[in-house]
Structure formats: C-alpha cells, structure tokens
A and B are shown apart, each in its own frame.
Chain A
Amino acid sequence: MEKKLNQFDIFKIMVKRDLLIQSRDWKEFVFRVGMLPFILILTYGFMLPQIGILDADFPNQMFPGMLGMSLLVTGIHGTVVPLAMDFNNTREIEDRLQAPVNVRVVAWAKMFVGIIESWIGALIVLPISLVFMGSYLNISLDFTSGLVLLGVLLLSSVTSATLGLLVGTVVKPPQIAAMFPGFLMPLIFTGAIFFNWAALETIPVMKYITLINPLVYINEALRFILNSGGDTMPIVYSISGIVVFTIVMGYYGMKRFIKMANR
C-alpha cells in the first residue's frame, strides 16, 4: 500500500496542497495582487502623463518598478501571511511538520509557492500596464536580454520568497495588519519604483539608505534590461545585490523556520 518515501514527492504534495487552497481564493488573490499596481499605474502611468503633470517618458521608467514591486510584494505576502497564521494561530502546519521529511522541505514548499505567486503577481501587471501605459511604453528586447530578464525575474522571485520566509516567521498574526504601513509601504516607496536609483544623487542620504532595500536592486536590474541601460546601476551590481539579499534572508529565514518548527 505504501511506496518508498521520497522527500521530493512529499515536497510536491505540499506544494499541491498550498496551490489548491490558494486557487480556491483566486478572486481574492487577483484583487489583492492587482489592486496596488492598478491604482499606481492608473494614477502615475496614465492620468498624470495624460494631464501633463508627468513627462510622457515617465511610464517607461515606472513599468520595471511596477513589475519588480508586484513580484516582490506578492511573494512576500504569499509566504508571510500563511506562515504567521500557521505557526501562531491555526497551527495547520503541524500536520506537514509531522510528515516524515526534513523540516526544511516544508519551508522549501512554502517558498516555492511564494515564488509561483510572485510570478503570477508580475504577470498580472503586464495587462494592466499594456492597457493604461501601452502607448507610452518603448520596450525592445533581444533574445539575450529576454533570457537575462527571465533570470532576473526568477532570482527576484526567490528573493521575495526568502524575505517572506524571514518575515513570516518573525511577525505574529496581530502584527499582520501593521505590516502594510510599517513594512510593505516603506519597502515599496523606497524601492526605486518610479525612478532610477541614480536620480537620488541630489539626496545622498536617501541614496545610501535605500541600498538596504532589496527592491532597489530588483528594479534597477529590470530597468537596465527593459530600458536598455540608461542611467541605472550596473547590472553586475544589481544582480549581486539581489544574490546577497537572497542568501542572507534565506539563511536567517530558514533558521527562524527551523526554530519555530521546533518550539
């Protein structure tokens, strides 16, 4: 009746379980993921350029920022909220922690679902951007740039899931409501979503403070690829920044997860 236990098989079942539960709330998911970029794109990418307050080139600067923001925030949200609830409130995760796998497998499954969600989050931005900013966008991608873009998106989604793992094992359910104003908003608005990081040259303090924000590196890398260079951070620096953040947050996130699992 029982087949040989395989850690990867159990990982796949755990991912399937999470995706099934998420798919049942897909309307809520689309609303949650799409609403912020929709409002920002509608306002800054459509209305303000239309009425002449913002330059017509602004949507071009903004599009990579929206992509990066949506990717990062969706992945964080998709990992943080279930983890915080699972560990501190519903304790639903106990069934998976009792499964005959290394607890790291449970964490990997959670992160993998966060990665998938972050990709969906990024995909949702595309039609919104095309509808409202399509006429302003001037993006051309050759095959190599396309491959680099895919790599950056993949790496960024991993960053997003590792940050989600870390935050999800730190925050308690009552703090989730405070997470948006206290964590996500500062992360978004200091994440170079509207402009190149180099534009902060005139405010050196902000320029260096924002370097602790992983979204800066993600947006700079996306802007480098989608806007064909320009005045962005060199791609080697931005990718290195993403990698460093992923390793550091992944390390501490996993450490916290194991601690929470063995309480």
Chain B
Amino acid sequence: MKEKKIEAILEVKNLKKVYMKNDGEPHVAVNGISFELMKGEIFSFLGPNGAGKSTTINMLTAQLTPTDGEIVFQGQSLKDNPIFAKSKVGVVAQHNNLDRGLTARENLIYHGQYFGMSEGDAAKKADELLASFGLTDWGNDYVKSFSGGMAQRLKIARAIMHQPEILFLDEPTTGLDPAYREILWQHVLKLNKEYNTTVFLTTHYMEEPERFSDRVAIYNKGAIKALGTVEELRKKVPSQTIITIVLDALNEDVVKEVKSLADVKDVSVKDEKTFVVYVDNSQKVINELLALIDKKGLALESINLSATTLDDIFIHLTTNDIKND
C-alpha cells in the first residue's frame, strides 16, 4: 500500500476552452473544470472519444492556451511561468510525434538534452530505456521505419527520459500488446514509487485505472461527472451487481419493461443489442428477465452476471450524455 499523498502538485480552477468552429459557432471543449492533482498519485481522467481529454492535457502541459481559468503548478501560475511547468512534465501524446528523421536513440538523447541532460548522461539513459522497452536492436534505426507499437514504446521511453514530476499519458497503451502494456506499467509504477512521480492517465482500457489509479475522474462533454477513488465511484451506480444482456435486437419496450421490474435499480443501454441491468436480487431478476425475453419472442445471445467494474461505472455515467448527442 502506498503512503497517503496529500500535497497538491497541480491545481486546476474553472478551466475552460472554447473553439470557434468553421461555421463561426463556438464549441465548448472544456467547460470550467476544477480539480487537484496530488503529489505522487496516479490519476485517471476517463471519458468517451472526443470528450475533451486531450484538450485538457494540452492545457495542463502548456501546449494550449485556456480560454479561461487557472492552472497552478507547484504554487506557480502556468500562465505566468510555463517554462517552469514544462521542465517538470513528460507527455505521451496520442499521435506519433517522434522525430522521423532521427534514430530511436537520437530521439531519446535530444529529448534528454532539451531538458538539461548532458549528451553522455542522455546517451546512457537512452540505452537503459531502449533495453527496458525492447528496442535495443532498433536503437540506431530511423523511427520512420517503426511499427505503431514500437513507436508507442519509444514515445513512452522519451516521456520518462528526463524523469518528470508529472507524467501525462494520453492513451499510452493503445496499440501495445499485453506484454508491453505490462512493461509500460512496470516503468510507470517504478517512477511513481521510487520518485513519487504523479501520473495523469487517459485510457479506454478500464482495467488499467481500476488496477493502478488512486483516483479517477469520469469526464464527458467538457465536465467532470464524478471524481473519487474507484470504491467511491462504485457508490455512484445504483447497485453493486449488474446483469449484462445481449439480444438479437433491442427495443425501447423491452427496456421499459425491464426497468419496471421489482429489484431493478436502473437500466443502461450499451449499444443496439446490449443493455446493462443494475440489480439488488440477481437470482430473482435473472428469472424474470429470461421470462420476459421469452414472452417477447427475442433471441438471447448472452447473459452475464458480475460485480460492478469501472467499465460499468463509466458507461452508467456517460451513456446518457452520448445518447443525447
């Protein structure tokens, strides 16, 4: 168990970003969010595609100017002293922004030097990281020849070259196979444990924040819907037991009837075939659901009973927003 961290390293106050669309209409990407990042915590910032997660990261890392609000990094306003903030953070962007004209090793060495490392120290650290991420044999190859997974590993190695105090990981494990996802997390956890590095993570793999995060924010349509530990977020869903049902086709009548069953706390529609039922008495409800499906003449493709996961919390807190879009 990690020791409790209470010191805020980053304070975000009423952060807002408004873009002007091509038709001249304003689009609110981030709508006045506020939160704190605690020193040494792993903080997951979860939201659907296009919710504004990357926009938020870009503002927190001094790459994008907010429309309004304040970001305070270790007591210093990011607006007044962006260089100070930039010197303390490492960023893994979603897209490949590696230097294609440089080799993998050179990418790391130059990055280290931008952050004040001597060429010798940077080369030594680069070799260590290349070995850790299984890239030693490709260290002198140009990045333009790299596969997506190799490039992703190198991006992560580059972000931790200068041992940042806050590591921003924007969907870092996308494109990585399970073995390298584990390696990435070993590195992140090592940084977090040994150097008390704070981690700000966005991901679509819900098991990652569930396993590693101290706190999670569920974010959608520019606003934070819920923030807390995974245990605290579990209380945001109507029950701790859920039944996931996949039918050949789903219609509103079925959902309405399922909602009216006793012991059913809530129903979320996941997609055109799948719905999730939050229940108190699972055995009783399963029997009733099966009878209802049979009565309606629908074909049951699968039924699954489970305890509430972060995936379910996320779906519960964001599906209504998505459906209303």
Chain A positions within 8 Å of B, measured between CB atoms, are 1-6, 9-10, 13-14, 17, 20-21, 24, 90-92, 94-102, 261-263
User: For residues 43 through 81 of chain B, which have their beta carbon under 8 Å from a beta carbon of chain A?
Assistant: 61, 63-65
Which stretch from B115-123, B228-236, B239-247 is at the chain A interface? Answer: B115-123
Chain B: number of interface residues, binned into ranges: 20 to 34
Q: Determine if B83 and A102 form an interchain contact, defined as CB atoms under 8 angstroms apart.
A: yes
Distance A100 CA – B164 CA, assembled complex (angstroms): 12
The 10 closest A-B pairs by CB, nearest first: A100-B87, A99-B114, A21-B101, A94-B97, A91-B97, A100-B86, A2-B116, A5-B116, A13-B113, A262-B65
B128 within 8 A of A: no
CB contacts (< 8 Å) of B115 on chain A: these are 2, 5, 99-100
User: For residues 86 through 144 of chain B, which have their beta carbon under 8 Å from a beta carbon of chain A?
Assistant: 86-87, 89, 91, 93, 95, 97-102, 106-107, 110-111, 113-118, 121
CB-based nearest A residue for B121: A1
User: For residues 154 through 187 of chain B, which have their beta carbon under 8 Å from a beta carbon of chain A?
Assistant: 158, 162
CB contacts (< 8 Å) of B91 on chain A: these are 98
Q: Determine if B114 and A20 form an interchain contact, defined as CB atoms under 8 angstroms apart.
A: no
Q: Determine if A92 and B121 form an interchain contact, defined as CB atoms under 8 angstroms apart.
A: no
Interchain Cβ contacts under 8 Å between A and B, 14 examples: A2-B116, A6-B116, A9-B116, A10-B113, A13-B113, A17-B99, A20-B102, A21-B102, A91-B97, A94-B93, A95-B99, A95-B158, A96-B114, A102-B83
CB distance from A56 to the nearest CB of B (A): 46
CB-based nearest A residue for B162: A2
Q: Determine if B111 and A95 form an interchain contact, defined as CB atoms under 8 angstroms apart.
A: yes
Instruction: Count CB-based A-B contacts (< 8 Å).
Output: 78
Given contacts A92-B97, A262-B63, A263-B64, 17 further A-B contacts (CB under 8 A): A1-B117, A2-B116, A2-B117, A2-B121, A3-B117, A17-B99, A17-B102, A17-B110, A21-B99, A91-B95, A94-B63, A95-B107, A95-B111, A96-B114, A100-B83, A100-B84, A261-B63
CB contacts (< 8 Å) of A91 on chain B: these are 93, 95, 97
CB-based nearest B residue for A105: B83
Distance A10 CA – B97 CA, assembled complex (angstroms): 19
CB distance from A258 to the nearest CB of B (A): 10
CB distance from A198 to the nearest CB of B (A): 45
CB distance from A109 to the nearest CB of B (A): 11
CB-based nearest B residue for A99: B114
CB-based nearest A residue for B118: A3
Q: Determine if A24 and B61 form an interchain contact, defined as CB atoms under 8 angstroms apart.
A: no
CB contacts (< 8 Å) of A262 on chain B: these are 63-65
CB contacts (< 8 Å) of A21 on chain B: these are 99, 101-102
Residue from A14, A97, A101 within 8 A of B63 (CB atoms): A97
With A2-B117, A13-B113, A262-B65 as given contacts, are A95 and B87 in contact (CB-CB < 8 Å)? no
Q: Determine if B102 and A98 form an interchain contact, defined as CB atoms under 8 angstroms apart.
A: no
Distance A263 CA – B116 CA, assembled complex (angstroms): 26
CB distance from B89 to the nearest CB of A (A): 8
Q: Determine if B110 and A4 form an interchain contact, defined as CB atoms under 8 angstroms apart.
A: no
Which of A4, A97, A100 gathers the greatest number of chain B CB atoms within 10 Å?
A100
CB distance from A173 to the nearest CB of B (A): 14
CB distance from A207 to the nearest CB of B (A): 41
CB distance from A248 to the nearest CB of B (A): 25
Distance A98 CA – B158 CA, assembled complex (angstroms): 12
Which of A94, A95, A99, A262 gathers the greatest number of chain B CB atoms within 10 Å?
A95
Q: Determine if B63 and A98 form an interchain contact, defined as CB atoms under 8 angstroms apart.
A: yes
With A98-B63, A263-B64 as given contacts, are A3 and B116 in contact (CB-CB < 8 Å)? yes
CB contacts (< 8 Å) of A9 on chain B: these are 116
Residue from B61, B99, B113, B118 within 8 A of A98 (CB atoms): B61
CB contacts (< 8 Å) of B63 on chain A: these are 94, 97-98, 261-262
Q: Determine if B101 and A24 form an interchain contact, defined as CB atoms under 8 angstroms apart.
A: yes
Distance A182 CA – B98 CA, assembled complex (angstroms): 31
CB contacts (< 8 Å) of B101 on chain A: these are 21, 24, 92
With A98-B91, A262-B65 as given contacts, are A13 and B97 in contact (CB-CB < 8 Å)? no
Distance A116 CA – B220 CA, assembled complex (angstroms): 48
CB distance from A108 to the nearest CB of B (A): 14
User: For residues 27 through 56 of chain B, which have their beta carbon under 8 Å from a beta carbon of chain A?
Assistant: none
Distance A41 CA – B107 CA, assembled complex (angstroms): 41
Q: Determine if A95 and B114 form an interchain contact, defined as CB atoms under 8 angstroms apart.
A: yes
Distance A15 CA – B93 CA, assembled complex (angstroms): 24
CB distance from A104 to the nearest CB of B (A): 11
Distance A98 CA – B114 CA, assembled complex (angstroms): 9
Distance A6 CA – B83 CA, assembled complex (angstroms): 11
CB contacts (< 8 Å) of B110 on chain A: these are 13, 17, 95
